[in-house]
Structures are given as C-alpha cells and as structure tokens.
Amino acid sequence: MKFEFIEKDIDKISADVEIIFIVEKNFDHKWVKDKEELELLNFKGEDEESALLADKRRLYVGVKSLDSDDIRVASAKAIKSIKNKNFKSAKIGIYSDVKAIVEGVLLGDYEFNRYKSKKENSKIETIYISKEEYSNKEFDSVKIKQEIEEAKIVANSTNYVRDLVNTPPNEITPVTLAKVAKLLAKEKDLEYKVLDENDLEKEGMNAFLAVGKASANPPRLIHLTYKPKNPKAKVALVGKGLTYDSGGLSLKPSEYMVTMKSDKSGACAVLGIIKAAKELELPIQIDAIIGAAENMVGPNSYKPDDILKAKNGKTIEVRNTDAEGRLVLADSLCYAQEKVKPDFILDFATLTGACVVALGEYTTGVMGFNSSLKKKILEATKESGELASELPFNRYLPKLLKSQVADICNISSSRYGGAITAALFLAEFIEEDNKDKWVHLDIAGPAYVEKEWGYNPYGASGAGVRLAIKWLQKEFNK
C-alpha cells in the first residue's frame, strides 16, 4: 500500500472514496457533507462507529478525540471498512497526527491468511493524504513526508513481528528462527552470530540447555548487532524465544497448550525492533539477543527436583518445568552483559500468566529497579499507543524464591505476585552494577489475543516494537 502526501485541499484530490472522521460527534465540520443521510442512518459518530455512503463515495468513522491513539484506532476501523470493497484509492485530511493515520491504516489492514486456500487481500492500493488539516493548523510538508516514512517503517516492522509470531511451531523451530534472523541480518547489513548446543555448553549456559534437552529441535542463541558510526550508547534487547512450550514434564492442560506458538513473541519483538532501528538509522548500537528453545517432553526432559547451574554460577532448583522462560532468559541475560557490556538492558518475554491476571490481556507489565528509567519507558509507551503499567518490587517478595537446596528456586512458594517474583528471579542474573540499567517487560497479555482489539487483529499484535522504538527515539534522538 502506498501513501502519498498531496499539497492540495481534500476536495481537489481525486480518489475512489473519502475517509472522514467525526471527531467528538462534531457533525458541523466542513468535511461533513452528508448530515441528513447520517441522521437517517442513525449514525451517532460514536467511537469506532462507521457508515459507508457508497453512492457518495464517503466513509464516516466516529473517533473519540484527536489524541494519536484514537486516530490510530479510527484509521484502522476505516481501512477495515473498505479494504474488501472495490475501491483502489482513498483520501483523507490530516487530523492531529499523520503518523497515527499511517500506522493505524497499516496495522488495521494486516491479515494473517498465509495458510488459507482462499485469500481476500485488501484492494486499496493508495492512500492520498491531503495538506488540509482538520483544525486548520499550519503544516510543514517536509516533516509530514518524513513522518509518513517513519510510520511505515514502525508499522511494517510490527507486522513483520506479527507474521513471525503467528507462524506455527511446525515451521518455526529454534533452528529455523536462527535462519530467519540470518536472513534479516543479510537484508539489513547487521552483524550475525548464532550459538548451537555445543557452544551453549562451552559458555556454561546449562539452564538454557536444560529447557531444550527433550526436543528433537536443538536450542539456539541468536545475536544480531546494529552498529552505526559513533553510537551514543549500547542497548541490549533480550528476547524469550520459546518456539513452542508444552510445559515439559509439568505438562500444560491441552487448552493451555493452544496458542503456545506465541511464546516466541519476545524473540520476534527484538527482531522487529532492530529491523526498525536500522531502517530509521537510530544513533545507538543495538544488540538483539534471543534465547530460542522448545520445551518438550522426552527421554531427556529436565525434571522437577533437578538442580541447574547457570552461566553466572548460580544454582537453580527446578520445581516446575513450565517455568522455563526464566531459565532461558537467565543465561541469555548473563551472555548479554558479558559480551555486550551494554548501557541499557531491556528484556521482552511472554513470561507469566500472572501478568495477564494482574493487568489484563492488553497491557505490558514493566518491572525493574530504576524508577527514572521505568518512568521514561512508560511515558514512551503511552506515546507509542501500546499499553503498559508498572508492577512494583518490594523487600518481601524475593524471599519467596528461596531454595533449601540451591541458590534460588525457579518458582515462588506463593501463588500470588507471580509476575513480579518471575522478574525478581531474572534480577538474580543481573550484575549489581547493571541493576539500574535493566528493565523487564512482560508482554504475556498483549502479545497474542484471540480476538480483535483496536488496530490489533486476532492473534499476534507485535507487542513491544512501537514502545521500544519510541523510547529509543526519545532517549537518544536529542
């Protein structure tokens, strides 16, 4: 789909259909030309309500406000309303944020239909964006064109992640995920390195190795690096890449096993982030590190009661093999700190169902020790359109991870506060000097939802990409 900025008023642009937002139920704006027809249809202009007047070639969509995320949602609603009609082009004026319009259209247009025999792809080829603004503010055409390109990069990277997460586990294994990363590295001129099971053993990454022992598909650690000239900082992004999670010997019930292809969402997110960062030419070095494994059942399965030695020398008592992502991340975080020596460390993981219980399906849990860093990430998250909330540490929760036979237990002794105790487990593998550099993002809720929401489709949302890019831009594009 192409986006063209036209330096003309909207009435002077030729297109198959015009998209008009009814902002705060304002039917008196000059762009609303069909008030009587809308009244006849009982169209109230409520949020996400739409009315297509085919004979007038106009689509009206209700939008709650001019806030960027409301515009994204309305733009997604608009493209969904016309994508399967016989329109090849559409035109729209600028409301509050041209980036939000472009992102909303591209995110709303997304469909994962790769495995369907009959596909109904969008017929819209071009979106024309008029210079005419809803509120008649002055515009900067150069800036608008830049914002359109930036929005395309971020939205397309998000959709790239959606495709990867939605791909089933018979197609994406740790080895094939490494091949996907290698292809991305080649396309984007990134440095690429992969560690196989023998390399992991040499590195002392025994917690990571244990998780993948029972699978016919061996584990891989994947390391991509984007290194611009004179980078302002080094940022390590660590992603949980469970290409499938059966729960291991602590087997999941069958209904909970469905959708476990999504347990690689953190890994896919860091691939999308580094892809967007390179295309945007952000002035920081980014190291995307993925711990990829399958947690399966077999003769070599690791077991409850096993004691594992992680890369940093700490011993872990296993009491539940379905708490496997934290074991993979523990060694991956140790690797990131040792090899990269980063200024910031962000990990992305579909880590706990407890985070979904705490915050709901749509919200990422943000945890860490540095209040200022968490605040900046939460501010950037809000601007990006993703939803996130902090889950606070306290002095009592770490005691719940105490083991009588090892340095730490892989699950808490309490059923409560599970998202936080999982993060505190990871904190045991963050060096003391790096505690204030690290933030953990539990994306278990928004990464994969089995219903449409806002501009997100059934399935993968690409959670993490937009929030991370916004934070990187705000922090380092100064």
Has 252 been annotated as catalytic?
yes
pLDDT tens for each residue of the chain, 478 residues long:
999 999 999 999 999 999 999 998 999 999 999 999 999 999 999 999 999 999 999 999 999 999 999 999 999 999 999 999 999 999 999 998 999 999 999 999 999 999 999 888 789 999 999 999 887 777 788 999 999 999 999 999 999 999 999 999 999 999 999 999 999 999 999 999 999 999 999 999 999 999 999 999 999 999 999 999 999 999 999 999 999 999 999 999 999 999 999 999 999 999 999 999 999 999 999 999 999 999 999 999 999 999 999 999 999 999 999 999 999 999 999 999 999 999 999 999 999 999 999 999 999 999 999 999 999 999 999 999 999 999 999 999 999 999 999 999 999 999 999 999 999 999 999 999 999 999 999 999 999 999 999 999 999 999 999 999 999 999 998 6
β-sheet bridge partners, residue 62: 22
Is the Cα dihedral 172, 178, 182, 185 positive or negative?
positive
Query: Domains of the chain (ranges plus CATH)?
Result: 2-130 (3.40.220.10), 157-476 (3.40.630.10)
- Residue tagged active-site, from 72, 162, 326, 470: 326
The secondary structure of the chain, three-state, reads CEEEEECCCHHHCCCCEEEEEEECCCCCCCCCCCHHHHHHCCCCCCCCCEEEECCCCEEEEEECCCCHHHHHHHHHHHHHHHCCCCCCEEEEEECCCHHHHHHHHHHHHCCCCCCCCCCCCCCCCEEEEEEEECCCCCCCHHHHHHHHHHHHHHHHHHHHHHHHHHCCCCCCCHHHHHHHHHHHHHHHCCEEEEECHHHHHHCCCHHHHHHHCCCCCCCEEEEEEECCCCCCCEEEEEEEEEEEECCCCCCCCHHHHCCHHHHHHHHHHHHHHHHHHHHHCCCCEEEEEEEEEEECCCCCCCCCCCEEECCCCCEEECCCCCCCHHHHHHHHHHHHHHHHCCCEEEEEECCCHHHHHHHCCCEEEEEECCHHHHHHHHHHHHHHCCEEEECCCCCCHHHHHCCCCCCEECCCCCCCCHHHHHHHHHHCCCCHHHHHHEEEEECCCCCEECCCECCECCEECCCCHHHHHHHHHHHHCC
Rounded to 5°, angle at Cα 109 from 151 and 147: 10
- Residue tagged active-site, from 33, 188, 252, 376: 252
Q: What is the pLDDT of residue 119?
A: 84
Q: What is the pLDDT of residue 137?
A: 73
Q: What is the pLDDT of residue 139?
A: 73
Q: What would the two tokens of residue 259 be?
A: 């959708």
Q: What is the pLDDT of residue 8?
A: 93
Is the Cα dihedral 431, 435, 441, 442 positive or negative?
positive
Has 326 been annotated as catalytic?
yes
Q: What would the two tokens of residue 118 be?
A: 């009959």
Looking up tokens 């598909």 gives 217
Looking up tokens 């939205």 gives 155
Q: Which residues, other chains included, contact 115 with Cβ-Cβ below 8 Å and sequence gap of 6+? A: none
